[in-house]
Amino acid sequence: MGSTSTKIKLRTSDQKVFEVEKAVAVQSQTIKYIYENGCPDSVIHVHSVSGDILSKILDYCKKHVNSAAGKEDISPEELYEWDANFVKVDQNTLFDLILAANCLKIESLLDLTCQTVANMIKGKRPEEIRTTFNIKNDYTIEAEEAVRRENKWAFDMLGGVGTMVIEELADDTMSKCVTNTKSRVCVIAANQIVMMRSISKLANKKSIDVYKQPQNPTTPRIKESVKQRNVGTGFIELFFHFKCKM
Amino acid sequence: MWSNLPFDVLAKIFSFLSPDSLARARSTCRHWNSCVDTYPIATSFILLSLHHRAWFLALPTRNRGQHCYVHNPVIDNWHLLSLDFLSDPVRPVASIGALILVRPTNCTVLQLALCNPFTRQFRYLPMSNISRTNPAVGVVTLDSVQHGPNPNFRVYVAGGMSEAPRGGAMYELKLEMYDSTDDTWHVVGFVPTEFAVRLTVWTPNESVYSNGVLYWMTSARAYSVMGYEIDGHRWRGFGVPMADKLEFAALLCRNGGLTLVGGASEGEACIWELKEGDRWGLIEKVPMEMGRKLLGGKRSWGSIKCVGSEEAIYLYKELGSGMVVWREMEEKARWAWFWIEGCHSIGGNQVPNLPIKGVFLHPNLFPFTF
């Protein structure tokens, strides 16, 4: 029982010092290595991480250590929700968390943050990705045309401007999708594909029916409600309200 | 900020993207594009997740060389993939992870090539030592679950006809093997004459590898199976259930075991698994409704084809007919039946109902370096 009360001191790039339990700190493979191979009594410098970020990271590590050790009564679903809320941060923080998780070698946090960024990329056209992440398009016109031509197949289902695919929605989620009225929208919720058929016919309706594509031909189709709002020039904003029955 | 992420981190983010999302992401900026081109993205650890399933590639059997059609299982959508980088029309022989082994159709002598339709690469394998027409080909992939851009594999060529010493043609009895690790062909064994004849005349160029044995199905009635045990250099033949009643029959590997899918007239299509002693056990039947939908009103299974990957079995007909799929679910050990709509239009353009040959592929945008 002695080892659980061992504390490790960590000093950040902005000279803040954190004292944490060893079990929490060694979630970071980097810290673990330094602790086991260096001087266990002195302070470990985490040069590339600021105090704010390290504080958040330590919250994450503590939650996961306590949950795994049974110190906290939390179900896997609740932990999953906690993780989902953990990454609901502004982009700068998310960026810093990724780099810190990479540098500190915390595999599960790196997976979580990278998956979050990937979710922000999925289904988007390059223009939309650039807007989301404030990325400058540094291609020459010829180079960009060449890349698009080589990857032409991935653009053909979008059929127009501004189609977005929303993936991995939790049950009872409100979610938003912007699309032009000529294309089809595919929404994937909890591994069930919900497909909207020919929304070009729906421009004048207040609400549209969304049909769930049944996994098994004998399960009944479930109708959900969708509200839509015209945002001008052939674009509509759709709000989905789901209750996914498994 | 985001356009300057180090490649290892960016590659990790990209590993969570499905192939079409990745293809669009790389068009964002030069840094992201370089990452896809130069840093192999490891997808092996999330193999069965929705975003890393094998994709069904449909190659038209006529009008070859123009396009192929690929089904995206993530969003249940078809993509048009141009094959204009091919100099000659080709026929698929087998899939090797992210690549397809193909043979040009305009050549009577066997020539094989590797193709990645997503990176638009095509490379001929060296010619085998013995020049032969119409042999049977078998492929063994050596890496277990990598599906990386440069897989290690072996190609076995058996049977076929070669030039006889005094002119004319004879059945070729030497078994040759190509090893990708040294890019060379070797003679590794012999084929008994009766098998060589069957491999030449009655076997389409496809085989299934399971538990150290390469299996081929003879396509004539009555259907039967030939197996070559690679390590022991032993050939054997055995029968299949309802051998003379089946209108279509296909071999595939499912969960590592040899599996047979076949349909008899007026009946259902069935799936059998090979058990001890070369006996077959029935494990599943295609649901009646789906079978009828695929047959489209016809009673004969003769036009049905079948292809499988580790986690799915697809029964198909033409490009627009739709497909009946038996697939492993995310919670393993449970398989379920689905219907996939055929390809009728892409990007607003009508697609003709072409006859096709299907192969599975794990799309990889990283160029191979063979």
The pLDDT of residue B63: 67
> What one-character-per-residue DSSP string does B228-277 give?
EETTTTEEEEEE-TTTTTEEEEEEEEETTEEEEEEEETTS-EEEEEEEGG
The pLDDT of residue B269: 92
Confidence of residue B220 (pLDDT cuts 50, 70, 90): low
Residues 23 through 62 of chain A touching chain B, CB cutoff 8 Å: none
Looking at CA atoms only, how far is residue B346 from chain A in angstroms?
7
Residue of A nearest to B331 (CA): A191
Residues with Cβ within 8 Å of residue B201, at least 6 apart in sequence: B134
What CATH number does the domain containing A115 carry?
3.30.710.10
Residues with Cβ within 8 Å of residue B240, at least 6 apart in sequence: B217, B223, B224, B225, B246, B249, B260, B262, B272, B280
Which tokens is B228 given? Answer: 């070559």
Q: Which chain A residues contact residue B6 at CB under 8 A?
A: 102
> Is B223 a residue whose pLDDT tops 80?
yes
The pLDDT of residue B145: 53
Please judge whether B29 and A152 are an interchain contact, meaning their C-beta atoms are less than 8 angstroms apart: no
Q: What is the DSSP letter of A47?
A: T
The pLDDT of residue A225: 47
Question: What is the distance, to the nearest Å, from the Cα of residue A20 to the centroid of all Cα atoms in its chain?
Answer: 28
Residue A130 in contact with partner chain B when CB distance is under 8 A = yes
Mean pLDDT of A225-244: 42
Please judge whether B17 and A186 are an interchain contact, meaning their C-beta atoms are less than 8 angstroms apart: no
pTM: 0.76
* CA dist., res. B227 & res. A230, Å (int): 64
A91-146, pLDDT tens digit by residue? Answer: 999 999 999 999 999 999 999 999 999 999 988 888 889 988 999 888 888 888 88
Confidence of residue A44 (pLDDT cuts 50, 70, 90): confident
Residue A76 included in any domain: yes
What percent of chain A stands above pLDDT 70? 60
Residue B289 or A203, more confident: B289
Looking at CA atoms only, how far is residue B367 from chain A in angstroms?
12
Please judge whether A153 and B330 are an interchain contact, meaning their C-beta atoms are less than 8 angstroms apart: no
The pLDDT of residue B317: 94
Looking at CA atoms only, how far is residue B171 from chain A in angstroms?
43
Please judge whether B1 and A186 are an interchain contact, meaning their C-beta atoms are less than 8 angstroms apart: no
Residue among B291, B361, B286, B285 nearest B321 (CA): B291
> What one-character-per-residue DSSP string does B291-336 give?
HHHHHTT----TT-EEEEETTEEEEE-BTTS-EEEEEE-SSTT-EE
Among B5, B13, B50, B53, the residue to mutate for chain A (most A Cβ within 10 A): B13
Confidence of residue A182 (pLDDT cuts 50, 70, 90): very low
Dihedral-angle region of residue B185 (phi above 0 means left; psi in -120 to 50 means alpha; beta otherwise): beta
Looking at CA atoms only, how far is residue B22 from chain A in angstroms?
8
Task: Determine the length of chain A.
Answer: 246
Residue A227 included in any domain: no
- Which of B1, B29, B77 faces A138 most closely, judged by CB atoms? B29
Question: Could you tell me which residues are beta bridge partners of residue B114?
Answer: B101, B123
- Poorest-pLDDT segment among A162-171, B96-105, B146-155, B182-191: A162-171
Mean pLDDT of B63-67: 72
Please judge whether B20 and A153 are an interchain contact, meaning their C-beta atoms are less than 8 angstroms apart: yes
Q: Are B61 and B356 in contact (CB under 8 A)?
A: yes
Q: Which chain A residues contact residue B11 at CB under 8 A?
A: none
**Would you call A183 helix, strand, or coil by DSSP?**
coil
Please judge whether A121 and B290 are an interchain contact, meaning their C-beta atoms are less than 8 angstroms apart: no
In the predicted model, what is the mean pLDDT of chain B? 87
The pLDDT of residue A199: 38
Confidence of residue B205 (pLDDT cuts 50, 70, 90): low
B230-250, pLDDT tens digit by residue? Answer: 999 999 999 999 888 888 899
CA distances to A132, B208, B320 from B250, rounded to whole Å, are 48, 10, 21
Mean pLDDT of B29-49: 71
Mean pLDDT of B54-81: 86
What percent of chain A stands above pLDDT 90? 20
Looking at CA atoms only, how far is residue A41 from chain B in angstroms?
32
Residue A139 included in any domain: no
Confidence of residue A165 (pLDDT cuts 50, 70, 90): very low
Matching residue, tokens 């069935």: B270
Residue A232 or A44, more confident: A44
Confidence of residue B64 (pLDDT cuts 50, 70, 90): low
Count of structural domains, chain A: 1
Query: How many inter-chain contacts (A to B, CB under 8 Å) are there?
Result: 135
What distance, in Å, lies between the first and last C-alpha atoms of chain B? 35
> Is A67 a residue whose pLDDT tops 80?
yes
The pLDDT of residue A244: 30
Range with the largest mean pLDDT of A202-216, A223-237, B302-316: B302-316
Residue A103 in contact with partner chain B when CB distance is under 8 A = no
Among A93, A103, A122, the residue to mutate for chain B (most B Cβ within 10 A): A122
Residue of B nearest to A98 (CA): B9
Confidence of residue B155 (pLDDT cuts 50, 70, 90): very high
Please judge whether B337 and A216 are an interchain contact, meaning their C-beta atoms are less than 8 angstroms apart: yes
Residue B325 or B347, more confident: B325
Q: Are B79 and B20 in contact (CB under 8 A)?
A: yes
- Which of B19, B21, B330 faces A191 most closely, judged by CB atoms? B330
> Is A154 a residue whose pLDDT tops 50?
yes
Residue A165 included in any domain: no
Residue A193 in contact with partner chain B when CB distance is under 8 A = yes
Residue A108 in contact with partner chain B when CB distance is under 8 A = no
Range of the domain at A113: 5-121
Among B20, B27, B84, B338, the residue to mutate for chain A (most A Cβ within 10 A): B27
What percent of chain B stands above pLDDT 70? 94
Residue A211 included in any domain: no
Torsion of CA B26, B30, B31, B34, to 10 degrees: 70
- Which of B8, B26, B72 faces A151 most closely, judged by CB atoms? B26
Residue A61 or A71, more confident: A61
Residue A140 in contact with partner chain B when CB distance is under 8 A = no
The pLDDT of residue A56: 93
Question: Could you tell me which residues are beta bridge partners of residue B96?
Answer: B99
Residue A229 included in any domain: no
Please judge whether B12 and A148 are an interchain contact, meaning their C-beta atoms are less than 8 angstroms apart: no
